[in-house]
Amino acid sequence: MYFDGRPKETREDLYDREEELQTLRSSLSEPIVLLTGIRRIGKTSILKVLLNEVDIPYALMDVRLPLASYRSLYSTFSEILTQLNRKERVKHVLQGIKGVSVFGLSVSLSWDRDSRTSLIQLMDRVCGVGRAIIAFDEAQNMRGKLGYEVLALLAHSYDYCKNISFILTGSELGLLYDFLRLDDPSSPLYGRHIEEVRVGRFNADRSLDFLERGFQQYNMRAPRDTLEYAVDKLDGIVGWLTEFGHRCVRIGEVRKEVVDEVLELAIRTVQRELSRFSKLNLAVIEAISNGYERWSEIKEYLERKSRRPVYDAELRRHLASLEKRGYISRIDRGKYAIVDPVVKNAFSKNQRRTQV
Ligand SMILES: Nc1ncnc2c1ncn2[C@@H]1O[C@H](COP(=O)(O)OP(=O)(O)OP(=O)(O)O)[C@@H](O)[C@H]1O
Ligand SMILES: [Mg+2]
């Protein structure tokens, strides 16, 4: 069913994405592939469908929480080895290594400084067993304290483990590239070629078709003008279109007001994500959404809202952070745009919403 809110796992439930799946599949001969796109665009769904379709043992890790300690790093790799062991026995190559315990199908790695083993050594052993895919969902979260360990592992695997492919997804493209540091000579991955498959939004025709077919699956009547309104506001971002469909199914009717509810939800989601950093970030989003796109206009807007001077360095920091997180992009000298059209639509009618 298209309007099921969880990431899709089978092609039957996945609308379109033939091209992305095809490209990804042919990129599996590469050591590292990136699957990128804005939030709610369908990355995890494409990844899961692909992994279910290819006949290669895989491990899929959601790394929404940063790897802040050896404990979390080694727990992540314990889980990876356990998942692989369930699909293709790898335990025989792990047995006897210091710091590795195997209980039934579960593999457990010690993170203790004196007994932990090298992840590179483990990867070499796993590589010897045969083909495997290791996927990290939202991989930009691996940057930080222990990111270097993962980078070193990726670089080693790139050079020596022909059997293993890594797929890294990321919504925050700038941060993902910050993590990989491909252009930094001191990075283990410096100069390596990495494939990137970008997931885009559906065009208006595909979006309408997606909604029509989705409602047909529930035998629901969907007035054309309501669907057009939905596509106008929610654009071709499949996650928001799905949320709209899902909510209509729940109330048993396709209504325009549900579109507005979904926009409200989009605002709350962005607020939740950004308020961790600074309220001023939200006000920047609001400014740009409402057409204050130039540096000077954004600055003026923020000063008006916060009733205090906003320093250039402060604004620069906020703009850089929002750009890295994939919320805004620089379209011109001194001019910015909101990347996600739903965020733009949601915030453009909420000028007085953010308190700073
Ligand atoms: N091609 C598709 N056909 C039908 N539903 C889809 C499709 N792609 C995504 N969805 C739905 O859209 C929502 C978002 O999808 P998904 O979680 O895969 O996106 P994402 O890019 O990984 O999002 P996030 O950035 O939040 O992790 C889910 O409800 C999913 O079921
Ligand atoms: Mg996802």
Same domain assignment for residues 43 and 151:
yes
* Same domain assignment for residues 231 and 288: no
Counting ligand 1 atoms within 8 A of each CB, the residue from 13, 44, 209 with the most, and so the one to mutate, is: 44
Residue 52 CB: number of other CB atoms within 10 A?
12
Is there a domain that residue 282 lies in? yes
Considering only CA atoms, which residue is closest to atom 30 of ligand 1?
Answer: 7
How far is ligand 2, taken at its centre, from the CA of residue 84, in Å? Answer: 21
Residue 355 within a domain = no
pLDDT of residue 352: 47
Kindly give the number of the ligand 1 atom that is closest to the alpha carbon of 45. 18
Q: In the predicted model, what is the mean pLDDT of residues 331-348? A: 90
Judge contact between 57 and 131, C-beta under 8 A.
yes
| Pair 240, 264: CB distance under 8 Å | no
pLDDT tens sequence across 156-198: 999 999 999 999 999 999 999 999 999 999 999 999 999 999 9
Report the nearest atom of ligand 1 relative to the CA of 14.
3
**Residue 235 is part of a domain; what is its CATH number?**
1.10.8.60
Answer whether residue 291 is part of any domain.
yes
Among protein residues, the one with the nearest Cα to ligand 1's atom 29 is 5
Each residue's pLDDT tens digit, 239-258: 999 999 999 999 999 999 99
CB count, 10 Å around CB of 293? 18
Question: Which of the four pLDDT bands, split at 50, 70 and 90, describes residue 350?
Answer: low
Cα distance between the two ends of the chain: 42
Q: Which domain holds residue 190?
A: 11-198
pTM across the whole model: 0.94
Question: Do the domain assignments include residue 152?
Answer: yes
- Average pLDDT score, the chain: 94
- The ligand minimizing its distance to the Cα of 37 is 1
Which DSSP state fits 292? Answer: -
Residue nearest atom 13 of ligand 1, based on CA coordinates:
239
Ligand 2 centre and the CA of 51: distance in Å? 14
Quick one: which of 1, 150, 134 has its CA closest to 56? 134
Work out the percent of the chain whose per-residue pLDDT is above 90. Answer: 87
Q: Are 326 and 173 in contact (CB under 8 A)?
A: yes
Instruction: Give residue-wise pLDDT tens across range 124-153.
Output: 999 999 999 999 999 999 988 899 999 999
137 in Cβ contact with 61 (< 8 Å): yes
Confidence at residue 107, expressed as pLDDT on a 0 to 100 scale: 96
Protein residues with CB under 6 Å of any ligand 1 atom: 2, 4-8, 14-17, 37, 39-45, 171, 238-239, 242
- Which ligand lies nearest to the CA atom of residue 43 in the structure? 1
pLDDT band at 351 (very low <50, low <70, confident <90, very high): very low
pLDDT in tens, 189-222: 999 999 999 999 999 999 999 999 999 999 999 9
Among the bound ligands, the one closest to the CA of 3: 1
Pair 194, 330 in one domain: no
Residue range 282-322, pLDDT digits in tens: 999 999 999 999 999 999 999 999 999 999 999 999 999 99
Of the three residues 198, 222, 245, the one that is the final residue of a domain is: 198
Q: How far is the C-alpha of 71 from the C-alpha of 311, rounded, in Å?
A: 40
